Structure 1
Amino acid sequence: MDTVRLRRLNRWQAEGLREDLADLYVESSAASPGEEFRDRQKFLLRLAGDVQLPGFDMLVAEAQSLTGCAFGVPVPRDGSWWEGFHGPLPQNLEQLTASGHVFAILDTVVHPHQHAHGLARRLQERLLGDHEASLGVTLVDRSDHSTCAALRTWGWQEVGQIHRLPGPTTLQVLVLPLGERTSEHPDGLAHNDRTQRPE
């Protein structure tokens, strides 16, 4: 197997690779032939919006060609990212958000042949590590059972649902605690000086 290299892209580099990223997205999806064009256009539209978000960061995986990518943004400290969350936001998520140590993974795309090699997980962990995040967060369509199941096997935990506009879309919220797990904090979400809400 070819050696897979991970490379960071800024927003301009990501925009320059948009067509290749969209091709990768179509190859990685299980869309029926009639849906491919529409799914590709939706991905390009989402990507165009995402690269404009403050702190946008992307990692791509390359062998002889582009084999995967993961991208995301730091979650703003003001809590605006959590608007539409069903019910009260758990206190530990509120504290970590206020501390500036939460990073949202907006999308992870990996060529189907690479899944067996753990590339999606490697991309996510590297992206979160590069941002020294205490918590990773991602949103998944509730009907996408295979993605939810894969994320849970990597340690992601479901913490609720969130409603995102436009439309009636309700998404599953999953978090990946990156702190040290202790008997006092088995979830890895220790409340220490680094994660306290500023006064």
Structure 2
Amino acid sequence: MAEVFLRRLSRWQAEQQREAIADVYVEAYEGVPGAEYRDRQGFLRNFENAVQRTDFDMVVADAHGMIGCLYGYRATRTGDWWKGYRGVLPPEVEESTAAGRVFMLTELMVVPAYRRQGVSERLRTLLLSRHATDLIVSVIKRDDDLGREVLRSWGWTKLGEFDRGESGSSAPPRRGETGTPGPDEPVMWEGWMRPMP
């Protein structure tokens, strides 16, 4: 297997390489056969939104071509992105949000051939090495067993559950959310967090 190299991408570089990143998305998530185009287009819409967020940051893994990436951004201080959260946020989460010290990990992708080789951990370490925040948060689908396994292996804890984000809200795109929900589709999401060391 080829050696894996990591590198940061600027916002401009990320936008320039969006098609290669979408290729990694399609390969990493192997959706329903025949739905690749819809999934890819939904991913590209979410990616375009994420790249414009404050303090967007991204790292990619290359091994004779892109094989993985991780990106995120600083969460807004308004806390609007907590809409849909079920329950009461812990006071320290609200305080970190208001202080602008929450970083959202939006997407982690590693193609199947390079999983369980430490690539995701290396991506995480490099991405978070230059962010001075109190809390890192990610939101995944409730049935995302692989995402949950990765977050647990990183020492994260489940914060709580979310309803599907409302259209036009400032909530971050939930990992794996590419389509428009039907009116009776009660998709649930899990929020995971880890205080910065």
Aligned counterparts of 1:84 and 1:103: Cα–Cα separation in 2: 18
| Counterpart code for 2:102 | V
- 1:186 aligned partner: none
Following the alignment from structure 1 to structure 2, what is the Cα–Cα distance between the partners of residues 169 and 16? 32
Cα separation, 1, equivalents of 2:101 and 2:47: 23
Aligned residue in 2 for 1:93: 93
Partner of 1:38: 38
Q: How many residues align?
A: 179
Bigger Cα displacement from structure 2, 76-85 vs 19-28? 76-85
Distance in 2 between the 1:100 and 1:125 partners? 21
**Residues 136 and 176 of structure 1 are in contact (CA less than 8 Å); yes or no, is this contact kept in structure 2?**
yes
2:193 to 156, 170, 175: 175
1:165 maps to 2:166: yes
For the residues of structure 2 that align with 1:36 and 1:121, how far apart are their CA atoms? Answer: 27
Fraction of identical pairs, as percent: 40
- Please report the RMSD computed on the Cα atoms of aligned residues, expressed in angstroms: 1.7
The structural deviation recorded for 1:77 is 2.4
C-alpha distance in 1 between matches for 2:125 and 2:101? 14
Look up the match of 1:196. Answer: none
Please give the alpha-carbon distance, in whole angstroms, between the structure 2 residues aligned to 1:147 and 1:131: 22
- 2:158 and 2:191 in contact (8 A); partners too: yes
Distance 1:133 1:140 in 2: 21
Identify the residue that residue 19 of structure 2 maps to in structure 1: 19
Separation of aligned partners in 2, 1:3 and 1:101: 35
Cα distance in 2 for partners of 1:160, 1:45 equals 26
- 2:79, 2:97 within 8 Å by CA — same for their partners in 1? yes
Residue 142 of structure 1, CA deviation: 0.8
Contact 2:53 2:74 in 1 (8 A): no
Aligned-residue offset at 1:145: 2.1
Distance between the aligned counterparts of 1:10 and 1:105, measured in 2?
A: 16
Does the 8 A contact of 1:72 with 1:104 survive in 2?
yes
Q: TM-score, normalised by structure 1?
A: 0.82
5+ residue gaps, structure 1, are 180-199
- Deviations for 1:107-150, whole angstroms, at most 9, x for unmatched residues? 01111111121212221232122212332100001121222122
Measured after TM superposition, the shift of residue 19 of structure 1 is 0.7
C-alpha deviation, 1:103, in angstroms: 0.6
Amino acid corresponding to residue 165 of structure 1 in structure 2 = E
- Structure 1 segment 136-147 matched on structure 2, within 5 A: 136-147=136-147
1:74 maps to amino acid = R
User: 2: distance between equivalents of 1:81 and 1:106?
Assistant: 12
User: For each residue in 1:60-118, what CA deviation from the matched residue of structure 2 results, as whole angstroms up to 9, or x when unmatched?
Assistant: 11121111111111112232222222122111111222333211011011111111212
More deviation, 115-124/101-110: 115-124
TM-score, normalised via structure 2 length: 0.83
Question: What's the offset of the Cα at 1:47?
Answer: 0.7
Letter in 2 for 1:93: V
Higher relative contact order (CA 8 A, sep 6+): 2
Give the counterpart letter for 1:57 in structure 2. D
Structure 2 counterpart of 1:190:
none
